[in-house]
Amino acid sequence: MNNLLDTLKKYDIDMKYYIPYGNNKGKIDLSILNTLNKKDGKLILLTSVTPTPAGEGKTTLSIGLNDAFNLLNKKSIVTLREPSMGPVFGLKGGATGGGMATLEPEENINLHFNGDFHAITSAHNLLSSLIDNHIYHGNKLNIEEVIWPRTMDINDRSLRKIKTALREDKFVITAASEIMAILALSRDIDDLKQRLENILIGFDNNKNFIYAKDIGGINALVLLLKEAINPNVVLSKEGNLAVVHTGPFGNIAHGSNSIIATNLSLKLADYVITEAGFGSDLGMEKFIDVKMLEAKKNIDLVVLVTTIHSLKYHGGLDDYHSDNLEALKEGIKNLEKHIENIKSFNLDFIVAINKHNYNKEEEINFLINYCKNNGYKVEVSSSFDEGAKGSVNLAKLIIKEIDNKEASKITRPYALEDSPTLKIKKLAKTIYGASDVIFSKKATLQLNLYHDLIKNLPVIVAKTHSSLSGNSSLRGRPLNFILEINEIRPQMGAKFFVALTKGINTMPGLNDNPRALSI
């Protein structure tokens, strides 16, 4: 088993850039990026079919795949998001993989890790406090409406609307904080500071926009984030390097780890394995249309993760562990839509069947043959049960597909010069399969109000992860549905705007039997 220091030395990391946080986790000072002149490695993105209650195992497969690359003596790194304590104590659980393919120390990473979420939460709430303090002490800016919320990293639906002595307010979960997105998209400290200055916090009594730089205290926010901007490093259970940094959700934010972490990994390794939250309609689309646009990077290959039980679920089967080939056949329609999405971006892909020991060979073989008969490259992975060796064949296929081959030029569903309304419509019709989009009266007013601010920005659509549509109960591949947009939120520091669909909350609630009760 490798230790962290020995592993870092394999990547020629000068130890003066290493910041230890105990014996088995640490950070890398981002200034190391100024010293790395190597050509970027190959970037491999994992996405999945539409998530189901059974889980698809993207993180597990990402970790196992990195272990497999290392088993083949390839210089690779897995680069992932940090877990939020909302899901950890709620419905989903942790985000460090599973079975034989996990990151360590698992408990620490899932909880406080190296303090990044706390730093983001503190910076966000300091800005909230400074805004209210400005109003309390005379309100020289004539602030009439504040759109900047408060935040915390726990699911708590009672905080969706609150009333303070000064005004009506609300909380969002830290993963949905604009400062989380800003940290994830910043290239360096200077970029971070500029983005923080440009946060839109509200309006004055003449409907003029007010920004964080008008309130002041930006240097204090940067100070709170000065360690959080450095990416975290840990090892997998099999002793291979993982860079884990920032944690925006894929359904209500942009759903991928930081640009700094990705840039660092690409300079250190020949192969970088990363994932984007939820399916191709959410995390992958935002990875491409937001993160890759900012990072100016290409993707060498997409790995589309699916499982037998998830396809059965999308075929209408609640007892997805039971034998039912017809449900599997019906559920493949969901897989097909995600393949269409990947193709629409002009990206090469491999279908990875995340196999578990309870899967029937007949069902696995049916899915393999289906993919091959349709010209899709496909391979089975079983990292949950077997660790690195369970993904060796998948790793070999990936290497064969991307070595000595340049990445394809990405095509996108909308152009930045499209109007905000047109961007949303193109995205909904192309990637989700909607027949049309309707906008609430509130959203229509906001589109008019913010038009000049957001007209050249990409869009983040906040919608359910449980369906290609905006209705979480619609499984498989819904057709002829209408996407309803309820609200528009400009995030000028992050440099995108958010379109919230009907029923979406940026502060989740706990389920009826949260995981916190069984710990």
Tens-digit pLDDT profile for residues 38-49: 999 999 999 999
Above 80 in pLDDT, residue 2? no
- What would the mean pLDDT of 294-318 be, rounded to a whole number? 96
- What would the mean pLDDT of 118-128 be, rounded to a whole number? 98
0.75 surpassed by pTM: yes
Predicted local distance difference test score (pLDDT) of residue 499? 98
Contact predicate 515/91, CB 8 Å: yes
β partners of residue 163: 168
- What would the mean pLDDT of 388-392 be, rounded to a whole number? 97
Percentage of residues of the chain with pLDDT beyond 90: 93
Rounded to whole angstroms, the Cα distance separating 67 from 402 reads 18
Contact predicate 462/249, CB 8 Å: no
- CA-to-CA dists, residue 188 to 10, 29, 220, 412, angstroms: 25, 11, 16, 27
Would you give the end-to-end CA distance of the chain in angstroms?
29
Residue 91: phi and psi, rounded to 5, are -90, -40
Above 60 in pLDDT, residue 306? yes
In the CATH scheme, what architecture does the domain 420-501 have? Roll (3.10)
Contact predicate 248/184, CB 8 Å: yes
- What would the mean pLDDT of 160-181 be, rounded to a whole number? 96
Above 60 in pLDDT, residue 290? yes
Domain ranges in the chain are 35-86+229-402, 116-225, 420-501
Q: Which two tokens stand for residue 325?
A: 């080939």
Above 70 in pLDDT, residue 375? yes
Above 90 in pLDDT, residue 357? no
Above 80 in pLDDT, residue 148? yes
Rounded mean pLDDT of the chain? Answer: 96
Predicted local distance difference test score (pLDDT) of residue 47? 98
Query: At the top level of CATH, which class does the domain 35-86+229-402 belong to?
Result: alpha beta
Around Cβ 272, how many Cβ atoms within 10 Å? 28
User: Token pair 């049960």 is at which residue?
Assistant: 385
Sheet strands (E) in 239-361: 241-244, 271-279, 301-306, 349-354
**Tens of pLDDT, residues 450-496:** 999 999 999 999 999 999 999 999 999 999 999 999 999 999 999 99
Instruction: Report the CATH number of the 116-225 domain.
Output: 3.30.1510.10
Predicted local distance difference test score (pLDDT) of residue 1? 56
Percentage of residues of the chain with pLDDT beyond 70: 100
Secondary element (H or E) of residue 333: helix 325-344
Q: How confident is the model at residue 55 (pLDDT cuts 50, 70, 90)?
A: confident
**Tens of pLDDT, residues 198-250:** 999 999 999 999 999 999 999 999 999 999 999 999 999 999 999 999 999 99
Q: Which residues contact 410 (CB under 8 A, 6 or more apart)?
A: 288, 292, 298, 299, 345, 346, 347
Predicted local distance difference test score (pLDDT) of residue 122? 98
Q: How confident is the model at residue 507 (pLDDT cuts 50, 70, 90)?
A: very high
Q: How confident is the model at residue 299 (pLDDT cuts 50, 70, 90)?
A: very high
Residue 162: phi and psi, rounded to 5, are -135, 165
β partners of residue 146: 202
